[in-house]
Structure 1
Amino acid sequence: MEFLVKSGSPEKRRTPALVVGVFANRSLSESAALLDQACGGMITSVLRRGDMEGETGQVLWLYDLPNISADRVLLIGCGKAEALNEATFARILAAMTRALQQSGAAEAVSYLCELAVKQYDMQWKLQQSVLVIEDTLYRFDQFKQKKEDTKRPLKRVIFGLPTRNNLPQGEQAVREASAMATGMRLTKDLGNLPGNICTPSYLAEQAQQLARTYTDLAVSVLEEAELEALGMQALLAVTKGTEQPAKFIIVEYRKGEAKDKPVVLVGKGVTFDSGGISLKPGEAMDEMKYDMCGAASVLGTLLACAELMLPINLIGVIPAVENMPSGKATRPGDIVTTLSGQSVEILNTDAEGRLILCDALTYVERFEPEVVIDIATLTGACIIALGHQGCALFSNQAALAQDLCEAGQQMYDRAWEMPLWEEYQEQLKSNFADMANIGGRPAGSITAACFLARFTKKYAWAHLDIAGVAWKSGKEKGATGRPVPLLLRYLLNRLHSRAHG
């Protein structure tokens, strides 16, 4: 999909399809009013007949309007103007995209970015437009014999801006969002792949393929023998029950100053999680192919940075494993020694994500990072706490937590900070090792983060538990591509802050 920004009056725009908004009670948006004036009130006349009330998501096509250069005009219902928020704006954009895709128009010009969304500027609306359009059009059908092909698909969307002065910022906003959408598409594709295809080895191959496509990326992969020599017994405990070998993937993107310490992203890469000996219930176990969405989001973010050629130093680290039961699998009660030297009593083999992450979080000390952020579908308890609206955020540095929350809010990819109070550490006590890998049912997502915190004392660290936002279930089942928007916006904000700091 190609996205452009142009200025100019809507009635003069030559295009197969022109999109404007209509509010509740048939009130016209600014551009709709200009069109109505140009065509002698025909839009108002049509609306008076009751064909459209302007309820959110309603659509109405108008053809061959006099004195209008566009072939057809799409009216989109926007609901009450004073109630227009982030969620409503996304619904409007999705309705527009579906109507355009079915129309046969290869190009469209949208004036929906003129709508006033509380607390958000034109750049935000442009970026959300790109992301929602791409998300609405996304299909994962590579295994289907009959694909949902559109004979004349939408190929180009032009966003109409008020004046030429808006174009430079608009172009930058669209460029960033397009890179973000490309990263999200990779994240979704990897997440949606089944576990028999997307194995740890496949993830490693995809990282290597990225490095072949983007020469600014360098990839190295550590094999199990190397992990054994390093002393990553916690990670290797998870992979004992499977025939799929573990892979420890390191992707380096170094386009910042040599003296600049890197930001490190650590992504949980459990390509399928049966729970191991602590076997999960059979219902919805197929969705455990999504347990590598943290890893996928790291690759998606790196891709977006490479697309934008951002002048930063960024390292992605992905411990990739499969968690399966077998005669060789780790048992509840087994004790392992982590790369940090601390011992862990594994009381539940289904709490495996923290075992691979703790060794990865120790490993990244060698990069002398400025910031480390781990991203993981870590706990079901996170979904109980926050549902599917936002991810849980934990951090050992208040400023880092604030920056991530702000980035999430900016991209409508929200995070909510949770506590890491010392009292929660009591739940991880073990009679036989330095710690247990679970802390019981109370505060499950918090005690998981507290476990990770024990391995992050040498740097600024944040943990994003994305179990509630990485994929959708039900009829819309599929990976979401989150939290790539949050992560990329955080990195862009860092660059902006440095440039103006």
Structure 2
Amino acid sequence: MKIVVNNQSTLSAEVLIVAQENLKKLVAETKCPNSKSLLDKKVFKAESGEVLPLLHVDKVVILLGLGLRQDFIASEYDKIIAKAAEQLKKLNIKEVSVNIDYIFDNANVKQFALDTVRAFISETYVFDQLKSKKENFSLEAIELVYSGNQDLEDAAKIGSAIACGQNYAKDLQNLPANICNTDYMLNEARDLTSKYETFNLNYLDQDAMAELGMGCALAVGRGSDMSNYTVCMEYNGGDEDEAPIVLVGKGLVFDNGGICIKPAAGMDSMKMDMGGAAAVMGTMKALAMLNLPINVVGVMGLAENAVDARSYRPGDVLKSMKGITVEVSNTDAEGRLVLCDTLTYIGKYNPKAVINMATLTGAMIISLGDAFSGLFANSDKLANSLQQAADASNDLVWRLPLHKPYLKKLESKVADMDNCGRDRSAGSIVAGLFLSKFTEDYEWAHLDIAGSAMGDFASCKATGRPVPLLVHYLLSQAK
């Protein structure tokens, strides 16, 4: 993807992003052919998401409305850009100028520039790898047009890197499990880390995990022919003695629920249960593209939850790497079992902070839908930093409590704790509390991305979230 910043359009296709307050300014500066007649006839009113393509002999101009400032919701900006992206696909425009001279007055231009580049790359994403007949579209170049005196090169570069990481995460999550299995994810980590000198790759196979006593994670994968792996991508961009930030992703490449099997309807979407691991991969890619001066370890706990004679059972008692014994009341509460051992293992890095991402609970979809990731944290400082990153990236989170009295729901009569309890209420909080028992030695946050990473659940469409949030957080920590 080629990204350039210019003070005027040099391409044969241009998108003009227009706030209602600047529609008359657009007409006065005659940037748009026939613009006065369009305004007089109210053909284009610059309402939010309104799009009008104008086809001329030597140029295609696409008008895109931002609406009124007081009605603008930053987190909905991608949906506005998507309207223009549809036109680019329809007209097969692969190189486009995007003019931001007519956004809201006194807007944060650098933020708009970043968001605009990221959104155009993300919203023109096409997943057709597995189709015999390809859509034959890919956006190849964006020329960001701004005639003001602010330098937007860095903003455009960051927006591009985030979108590339986001689209990479989408690719991984959209692939089916017969292709994107645990070995595939390990090889993707190998390929990514081999491209940059700042990376080291270490991983544990099943034998190494067994030697360390990772009994919970290994139990989940016992019913599958796929191997379990714990994969650690070490990005060393900071000082040698700087404690790393560790990102941990749940990597269930497919989850049929195990013996507590899921209903058939919608089970195909469980190829996306590795959304946390995909987000780690996407974030590490963006991080390397930006060459940030920071130390980060991206970790994936990889497994498949399947049914077999070897599958773990309801009633089994597992021993975690930390030594805590866990009674299994539901084999479909498997993600936390993979994560609990992974979160124990990464303690060896003496991390500055740990953030795990997981498509962990259906309850999160019920409570927050697909707009927000659920945020849990044992540190207000870390939670506040992530909230600020969410606000900056428009990748929304909502903090929920780790309400300690609910730990009673995890009590077991035969083990130290139950993996999910017998009471279905407060399911997302209870899952967070389970993980919190394995993260007491460091600052930790848990992002439940069950809704946000999969978008509209019925469409089974990966979003690449929370890559934007994570990259903005790392940018804030690298300063």
Give the TM-score, by structure 1 length.
Answer: 0.90
> Aligned partners of 1:484 and 1:280: how far apart in 2?
28
User: What residue identity is the alignment partner of 1:346?
Assistant: V
Residues 1:337 and 2:324 aligned together = no
Residue in 2 that maps onto 1:30: 25
Residue in 1 that maps onto 2:290: 308
Residue in 1 that maps onto 2:113: 126
| Deviates most, 128-137 or 487-496 | 128-137
Q: CA deviation at 1:147?
A: 1.0
Q: How does 1:39-438 map to 2 (within 5 A)?
A: 42-62=34-54, 71-112=59-100, 114-116=102-104, 121-150=108-137, 154-163=139-148, 165-167=149-151, 170-438=152-420
DSSP-derived class of the 1:184 partner:
helix
- CA distance 1:117–1:466, change in 2 (3 Å): farther
Q: Any idea what the Cα deviations from partners look like across 1:449-476, whole Å, max 9, x if unmatched?
A: 0010001111111111100111134674
Among 10, 14, 27, which residue is 1:18 paired with?
14
- CA distance 1:35–1:18, change in 2 (3 Å): farther
Query: Given that residues 368 and 374 in structure 2 are in contact (C-alpha distance below 8 angstroms), is that contact kept between their aligned partners in structure 1?
Result: yes
User: What residue identity is the alignment partner of 1:377?
Assistant: T
Residues 1:478 and 2:461 aligned together = yes
Query: Given that residues 110 and 157 in structure 1 are in contact (C-alpha distance below 8 angstroms), is that contact kept between their aligned partners in structure 2?
Result: yes
> Aligned partners of 2:24 and 2:96: how far apart in 1?
18
> Aligned partners of 2:128 and 2:144: how far apart in 1?
29
- CA distance 1:337–1:110, change in 2 (3 Å): same
Q: CA deviation at 1:222?
A: 1.1
Q: Any idea what the Cα deviations from partners look like across 1:362-400, whole Å, max 9, x if unmatched?
A: 111111111011111110111111111111111111010
Q: CA deviation at 1:23?
A: 5.3
Query: Given that residues 182 and 304 in structure 1 are in contact (C-alpha distance below 8 angstroms), is that contact kept between their aligned partners in structure 2?
Result: yes
Residue in 1 that maps onto 2:439: 456
> Aligned partners of 1:248 and 1:104: how far apart in 2?
42
Q: Any idea what the Cα deviations from partners look like across 1:400-444, whole Å, max 9, x if unmatched?
A: 001001101111101111101211111111111110001321110
Q: CA deviation at 1:96?
A: 2.0
DSSP-derived class of the 2:133 partner:
coil
> Aligned partners of 1:300 and 1:261: how far apart in 2?
22
Q: CA deviation at 1:111?
A: 2.0
DSSP-derived class of the 1:471 partner:
coil
How many residues in Structure 1 have an aligned counterpart in Structure 2? 478
Gaps of 5+ in 2: none
Gaps of 5+ in 1: 497-501
- CA distance 1:490–1:22, change in 2 (3 Å): closer
Query: Given that residues 6 and 161 in structure 1 are in contact (C-alpha distance below 8 angstroms), is that contact kept between their aligned partners in structure 2?
Result: yes
User: What residue identity is the alignment partner of 2:112?
Assistant: K
User: What residue identity is the alignment partner of 1:198?
Assistant: C
> Aligned partners of 1:478 and 1:32: how far apart in 2?
39
> Aligned partners of 1:460 and 1:243: how far apart in 2?
35
Instruction: State, as a whole percentage, how many aligned pairs show the same letter.
Output: 39
DSSP-derived class of the 1:214 partner:
coil
Query: Given that residues 22 and 32 in structure 1 are in contact (C-alpha distance below 8 angstroms), is that contact kept between their aligned partners in structure 2?
Result: no
Q: CA deviation at 1:117?
A: 8.6
Q: Any idea what the Cα deviations from partners look like across 1:99-124, whole Å, max 9, x if unmatched?
A: 23433544332223641299x61122
Q: CA deviation at 1:488?
A: 0.7
- CA distance 1:251–1:484, change in 2 (3 Å): same
- CA distance 1:492–1:335, change in 2 (3 Å): same
User: What residue identity is the alignment partner of 2:145?
Assistant: G
Give the TM-score, by structure 2 length.
Answer: 0.94
- CA distance 1:447–1:218, change in 2 (3 Å): same
Query: Given that residues 19 and 109 in structure 1 are in contact (C-alpha distance below 8 angstroms), is that contact kept between their aligned partners in structure 2?
Result: yes
Q: Any idea what the Cα deviations from partners look like across 1:311-343, whole Å, max 9, x if unmatched?
A: 111111211000001111111010011100111
Q: CA deviation at 1:7?
A: 2.4
> Aligned partners of 2:445 and 2:256: how far apart in 1?
27
Q: CA deviation at 1:73?
A: 2.8
Q: CA RMSD in A?
A: 2.2
- CA distance 1:333–1:18, change in 2 (3 Å): same
Query: Given that residues 84 and 116 in structure 1 are in contact (C-alpha distance below 8 angstroms), is that contact kept between their aligned partners in structure 2?
Result: no
User: What residue identity is the alignment partner of 1:71?
Assistant: K
- CA distance 1:310–1:441, change in 2 (3 Å): same
User: What residue identity is the alignment partner of 1:250?
Assistant: C
DSSP-derived class of the 1:116 partner:
coil
> Aligned partners of 1:265 and 1:248: how far apart in 2?
13
> Aligned partners of 1:248 and 1:229: how far apart in 2?
13
> Aligned partners of 1:82 and 1:34: how far apart in 2?
25
| Deviates most, 212-221 or 350-359 | 212-221
Residues 1:466 and 2:449 aligned together = yes
DSSP-derived class of the 1:97 partner:
helix
Q: CA deviation at 1:15?
A: 2.9
> Aligned partners of 2:24 and 2:432: how far apart in 1?
47
Q: Any idea what the Cα deviations from partners look like across 1:116-144, whole Å, max 9, x if unmatched?
A: 299x6112211211222112211111111
Query: Given that residues 216 and 255 in structure 1 are in contact (C-alpha distance below 8 angstroms), is that contact kept between their aligned partners in structure 2?
Result: yes
